[in-house]
Amino acid sequence: MINLFKKKSKPEVMQKVPQHVAIIMDGNGRWAKQRGLPRGAGHLAGKERVNDAVEVCLELGIKYLTLYAFSTENWRRPPEEVNYLMNLFHESMAQEIPKLHRNGVRVRFLGLKEGLDASLVAKMAENEKLTAGNERLNLNLAINYGGRAELLIAIKKISEQVQAGAVTIEQLDEAELNKYLFTAGQPDPDLLIKPGGEFRISNFLIWQMAYTEFYFSTVLWPDFGSNEMQKAIAWYSQRERRFGSVKGV
Antiparallel, parallel or unpaired: β 64-71 and 20-24:
parallel
Confidence of residue 1 (pLDDT cuts 50, 70, 90): very low
Confidence of residue 52 (pLDDT cuts 50, 70, 90): very high
What tens digit of pLDDT does each residue of 180-234 get? 999 999 999 999 999 999 999 999 999 999 999 999 999 999 999 999 999 999 9
Confidence of residue 243 (pLDDT cuts 50, 70, 90): low
What tens digit of pLDDT does each residue of 88-127 get? 999 999 999 999 999 999 999 999 999 999 999 999 999 9
- Give pLDDT, residue 16: 87
- Tell me if 135 sits within 8 A of 106, measured CB to CB: yes
Q: What CATH class does 17-146+189-237 carry?
A: alpha beta
As a dihedral over the C-alpha atoms of residue 205, residue 182, residue 28, residue 77, rounded to 10 degrees, the angle is -100
- Tell me if 72 sits within 8 A of 149, measured CB to CB: yes
Write the single-letter amino acid at 85: L
* Percentage of the chain lying above the pLDDT 90 cut: 88
* Rounded mean pLDDT, 50-65: 97
- 219: Cβ contacts below 8 Å, ≥ 6 apart: 27, 195, 196, 228
End-to-end CA distance of the chain: 31
pTM score over 0.85: yes
Alpha-carbon span 180 to 156, nearest angstrom:
9
- Give pLDDT, residue 11: 36
Confidence of residue 153 (pLDDT cuts 50, 70, 90): very high
Domain boundaries, the chain: 17-146+189-237
- Give pLDDT, residue 117: 96
Q: Which residues are catalytic?
A: 26, 74
- Give pLDDT, residue 4: 42
- Give pLDDT, residue 240: 80
* Percentage of the chain lying above the pLDDT 70 cut: 91
